[in-house]
Structure 1
Amino acid sequence: MALQRVKTVFYGRWIESCRYIDYRLLDVDPLLKRWQQLKLIRIVDDKDVSWIMLVLSKFPNNDLLIVVDTAPATDIGNTPYMSSELPRTEDSRTENVIIDLNAFESPNTVIHVRVGSMFSQKSVLKKSIYMLALNSSFELVTVRSNRTSFDIRCKDPSCLWYLRASVFKKSDIWIVRKFTDTHLCSVDVVKNDHKQATSWIVSECTKLIFKMNDKAPCRPSDVINYMKIHHGVNISYDKAWRGREIALNSIRGTPEDSYAMLSAFSDALIRNNPGTYTAEEADDEGRFKFYFMALAASIDAWNYCVLVISVDGAAMKNKYLGTLISACTIDRNSQIVPQAFVVVDSENYLSWSWFFRNLKAVFGEHNEMVIVSDAHKSIENGFNGVYEIAEHGLCAFHLLKNLKKNHKSLPMEDSFNKCARAYTPLKFEYYMRQLEQLSPSMRHELEAVGRHKWARAFFKRKRYQVITTNISESMNSTLKEQRELPVIGLLESRSSLIQKWFYERRTKWSFQRTQLSIYAEDMIRESLAQSRSMNIYPVDQHEFEVHHPLSTRNLNLHLYTDKFYYVSNLINLYKKGTRPIGTVNQIRNTHQGGNDGILPPQVKRPAGRPKKKRFTSFLEKKASVPCSRCGKKGHNCRSCKEPI
């Protein structure tokens, strides 16, 4: 039967001795005439509730009037058993609404708990009650809590607030049996550190904020401020950190589950992006060692990019640490194009050899191919053991850092950079002699490294503008915050970044009106302005001789520009997009194979607070801002003592 809301006036009549809800059966038509002659039916136990529901089912034409001693008459329609949230019984014909976790999708959701409210599980019931206590500024004490019942009351013994819930008919559903929503406690009972503000409740309060800002940094101080502003509760830093970890683990998955789901992650990548290449390897005990990922869009883009790959590793900052290796190149507009990403347990010869083998399997080996890295010995050994034709170049910046260690306080930066970027051996020798004047042993140290590995004038292949590993360093710093995520979260963030970059660049070049890229147009415009009074004679396809100024010649510069600098090439480079693979739960549900059971690596975390920032070298100088008053450095305008 469908209960109708009885509209009547209670005339302020209260039953002072009643702490429960009173019911009475009334006929709708003579309601206003006979209400004083009818007796009230007092409900004091669960069997009385079952009895009144049975009576209502036998008399479908009658309606139920509910009198609550703590509610005004205008709220009579919102009292228990009068709304649509009627608990399902054997004789009831009204569908019940069971509260589950989906009811907390909004950050400011408030669940109205009543007698008969049903919850999908005990954790949902506890969350609803604890959130009610948190928002209403009163604390609770658990009287009894087991598998079948849950009793809780107000912290003040003299307060009447009380709630009892139990399992509904031996199912997983919990139903509120008794609820007295009357507070007689004093305001000083509640302290600033609310008892119900546990780390679990803190995580539930902040979970939606982390979902909406998944890429933003999630610091414990942000959690403390959020709980203070939105809930008026002061929590400790330790509780904020634990609540943050619980919330992030529920959103992104635990680090242990992330390693176990690597096969499911690979299947989702390949299923949504055909042509993607992934590989993984574990040790004899089934613990993680290496994982390789190259998206189909990056593999297709390699045919239109500069044939120079920069590789570099960055330390991961999650629970099990490890190293993230990035392989990147640049397009003909001097923009970074990610090629592959590898997660390894540690950076050594085995990990670099495994990385180069998979990199060669995906992108092949060409006569003009160049791989640039730092001077780490394991990188060089791993490269030499895999590649036969490709050339290995060293990063000029890392070589300069090593040179500065032996020759401190010498002004060598300018001469070294010009020496490394010189196009001819004559220019190289000119700047090398400048370095030799600073320190005679400097030439011997650079010759021992091999000038054919770092100097452009003696390099056998074309390095273009990739003299350092700056593009890999920039790629690692782009997602510095995401290196704290579990493995799957980290790799998914890289996939999302490639998806974003390729879409934006594809859209940009589709509406470009010039024939060449913006980088090529600027380079030609600058060179043209410098060479208007010079004679230029071509030596070969890529080299020209510039003689003393005599006259100018009008040339079609497009004939002397490589085809890869054309906008049509850039459109083909970014024509293939990347499709998202879904959340961690969606990946787990759609995985067809079994669980590969990869265990996390065995690591020993260092003692102390985890380091968030790397140690800077002495070459990385901090930018000093001059004083806005006098223009000198070392102080600001407030502490400036210079006369005007």
Structure 2
Amino acid sequence: MEVCVIAKCTYKSETIMFSVSSESSMVDILKTLCLRFRGLQLGCFTLRYSVPSYPSCFLETDSDLDLMRTFLLISNEKTVDILVKDLCGISEYSGDFCVNKELIACEKGESSCSSTVEDRNEFLGRSKRASAKPLLSNEWETYIHHVGQKFDGGAEEFRLKLCKYALEVGFNFLYAGNDKKRVVAVCSNKKLEGCSWRVYASRCEATGSFVIRTLNNVHTCAGRIRESKSKMMRSRVVSSLIVDRIRAKPELKPVEIIHEFKDYYGIDISYYHAWFGKELAKLDVHGDESKSFNELVWYADAVKETNTGSLCTLDCEAGINRFRFFVSFGGCIAGFQYCIPLLFIDATFLKSKYKGQLLCASGKNGNQGFYPLAFGVVDSETEENWTWFLQHLASILLPMGEW
């Protein structure tokens, strides 16, 4: 049975269409692409095709081509999208002459060119540059690929993947509409060059996921180039990529993040984006620090319930910039009677976002080590706050006869 499909091949900002029949081979497809696309050289590109649910399938050998035709026949698809991925410049590849020579030999029917599948597949394998360092961002070009594509994370996931897709493909976009229910993006060259690239996605009320409704994935503006610096690399994108690193290593420095992005993604980011991206990642991992103050009442009750004999006091007033928190665990109070009857009182400033002062009282144990008895967090080191701290400390020591 004759199987013929229409292949839509995209290379940079250009798209061509041609038919692929049951008799077509990978050599035929490669020759067609090199003849139709200006500047495309054999040995410097790979092919990937996209079908529903499988956005990035390798197309390298005749076996891959047969599988593609079989899948399209089963799914009753008449067209297929093929992406031409450029791997290197002409000057960086030394095998172009040999590959073209083999193609010419095939066209003339010389005996040096075998028609077997094994010979063709061996030849096609050289279209990938083995020495190229793979980047973690290589898969981003498959994030936006067809109408009906779903994003279970809603608008937030769609925006993130759209930014990563633009970074990898090499173009900038602008939001023509952007809210919780719909997102419309157009190429940034639409006004200057009339580029027709456009994507529209909206929320599916039944599932809550975002779905691509319309997609014109062809750029009619100047050629797209993946650059190491891009306006699409925003702090939220940085945050989504380092959230696991921050969870494992919270002390990761912005300078280290900059170096890792250069090594793993081939992208240069500014110090601000690295720093603010880290702050957003910390927010995702640990939650909003400002909201954690609301949990102090629960924490005080939990300490008293689980650690019998503890003293935990929260003192704050609405409308007044004053905050005081005193903690002394029951186990520490009970163990202090076996320590040397000597207390060291000191204070230090806190380096967190909300500042403040840490007041502490510690003793010495039998091994001449520090023994923590109580600590308090106050907004500033004043006489009033010290008096408040020592009064609570006295309420612990008086019952033990240590005052």
TM-score range, shorter chain: 0.5 to 0.7
C-alpha distance in 1, partners of 2:9/2:254? 49
Alpha-carbon displacement from aligned partner over 1:398-435 (angstroms, at most 9, x marks no partner): xxxxxxxxxxxxxxxxxxxxxxxxxxxxxxxxxxxxxx
1:203 and 1:127, CA in 2 relative to 1: closer, same or farther beyond 3 A?
Answer: same
Q: What residue ranges of structure 2 are gaps of 5+ in the alignment?
A: 16-21, 23-72, 84-135
Which stretch shifts more, 306-315 or 156-165? Answer: 156-165
1:340 aligns with 2:394: no
Residue 147 of structure 1, CA deviation? 4.4
Q: What residue ranges of structure 1 are gaps of 5+ in the alignment?
A: 1-7, 20-31, 33-61, 73-105, 370-389, 391-644
Q: Which residue of 282, 285, 304 maps to 1:251?
A: 285
- In the other structure, the counterpart of 1:128 is 161
Alpha-carbon displacement from aligned partner over 1:17-60 (angstroms, at most 9, x marks no partner): 9x9xxxxxxxxxxxx9xxxxxxxxxxxxxxxxxxxxxxxxxxxx
Q: Which residue of 200, 212, 227 maps to 1:164?
A: 200
- Which amino acid in structure 2 is aligned with residue 117 of structure 1? K
Q: Which residue of 63, 70, 75 maps to 2:81?
A: 70
Contact 1:314-1:324 at 8 Å conserved across structures: yes
Residue 341 of structure 1, CA deviation? 1.9
Contact 1:119-1:173 at 8 Å conserved across structures: yes
C-alpha distance in 2, partners of 1:137/1:117? 23
- In the other structure, the counterpart of 2:260 is 226
Matches within 5 A, 1:44-123: 64-71=75-82, 112-113=143-144, 114=146, 115-123=148-156
Contact 2:345-2:362 at 8 Å conserved across structures: yes
Residue 257 of structure 1, CA deviation? 1.7
- Which amino acid in structure 1 is aligned with residue 81 of structure 2? T
With normalisation by structure 2, the TM-score equals 0.59
Residue 156 of structure 1, CA deviation? 5.0
Q: Which residue of 241, 244, 248 maps to 1:212?
A: 248
- Provide the aligned C-alpha RMSD in A: 3.8
- Which amino acid in structure 2 is aligned with residue 361 of structure 1? S
1:321 and 1:173, CA in 2 relative to 1: closer, same or farther beyond 3 A?
Answer: same
Residue 200 of structure 1, CA deviation? 2.2
Residue 116 of structure 1, CA deviation? 3.0
C-alpha distance in 2, partners of 1:252/1:296? 28
Residue 155 of structure 1, CA deviation? 4.2
Residue 225 of structure 1, CA deviation? 2.5
Contact 1:137-1:190 at 8 Å conserved across structures: yes
Residue 322 of structure 1, CA deviation? 1.2
1:193 aligns with 2:204: no
Q: Which residue of 194, 218, 238 maps to 2:272?
A: 238
1:165 and 1:291, CA in 2 relative to 1: closer, same or farther beyond 3 A?
Answer: same
| Corresponding pairs, count | 285
C-alpha distance in 1, partners of 2:296/2:168? 41
Matches within 5 A, 1:498-537: none
Contact 2:169-2:225 at 8 Å conserved across structures: no
C-alpha distance in 2, partners of 1:290/1:107? 48
Residue 343 of structure 1, CA deviation? 0.5
Contact 2:176-2:186 at 8 Å conserved across structures: yes
- In the other structure, the counterpart of 1:263 is 297
Q: Which residue of 297, 318, 337 maps to 1:303?
A: 337
With normalisation by structure 1, the TM-score equals 0.39
1:341 and 1:11, CA in 2 relative to 1: closer, same or farther beyond 3 A?
Answer: farther
Q: Which residue of 145, 149, 154 maps to 2:182?
A: 149
Contact 1:155-1:189 at 8 Å conserved across structures: no
Residue 138 of structure 1, CA deviation? 4.0
Contact 2:174-2:186 at 8 Å conserved across structures: yes
1:236 and 1:15, CA in 2 relative to 1: closer, same or farther beyond 3 A?
Answer: closer
Alpha-carbon displacement from aligned partner over 1:563-602 (angstroms, at most 9, x marks no partner): xxxxxxxxxxxxxxxxxxxxxxxxxxxxxxxxxxxxxxxx
Contact 1:117-1:176 at 8 Å conserved across structures: yes
1:127 and 1:239, CA in 2 relative to 1: closer, same or farther beyond 3 A?
Answer: same
1:277 and 1:185, CA in 2 relative to 1: closer, same or farther beyond 3 A?
Answer: farther
1:366 and 1:275, CA in 2 relative to 1: closer, same or farther beyond 3 A?
Answer: closer
1:182 and 1:15, CA in 2 relative to 1: closer, same or farther beyond 3 A?
Answer: closer
Residue 219 of structure 1, CA deviation? 3.2
1:357 aligns with 2:350: no
Residue 198 of structure 1, CA deviation? 1.5
C-alpha distance in 2, partners of 1:239/1:15? 38
Alpha-carbon displacement from aligned partner over 1:540-575 (angstroms, at most 9, x marks no partner): xxxxxxxxxxxxxxxxxxxxxxxxxxxxxxxxxxxx
The structure with the largest alpha-carbon Rg is 1
- Which amino acid in structure 1 is aligned with residue 313 of structure 2? A
Residue 129 of structure 1, CA deviation? 1.9
1:67 and 1:180, CA in 2 relative to 1: closer, same or farther beyond 3 A?
Answer: farther
C-alpha distance in 1, partners of 2:303/2:138? 36
C-alpha distance in 2, partners of 1:175/1:248? 29
Matches within 5 A, 1:385-396: 390=403
Which stretch shifts more, 348-357 or 191-200? Answer: 191-200
C-alpha distance in 2, partners of 1:136/1:109? 10
- In the other structure, the counterpart of 2:348 is 314
Contact 1:325-1:341 at 8 Å conserved across structures: yes
C-alpha distance in 2, partners of 1:126/1:132? 10
Contact 2:8-2:81 at 8 Å conserved across structures: no
- In the other structure, the counterpart of 1:511 is none
C-alpha distance in 2, partners of 1:315/1:192? 41
- Which amino acid in structure 2 is aligned with residue 204 of structure 1? S
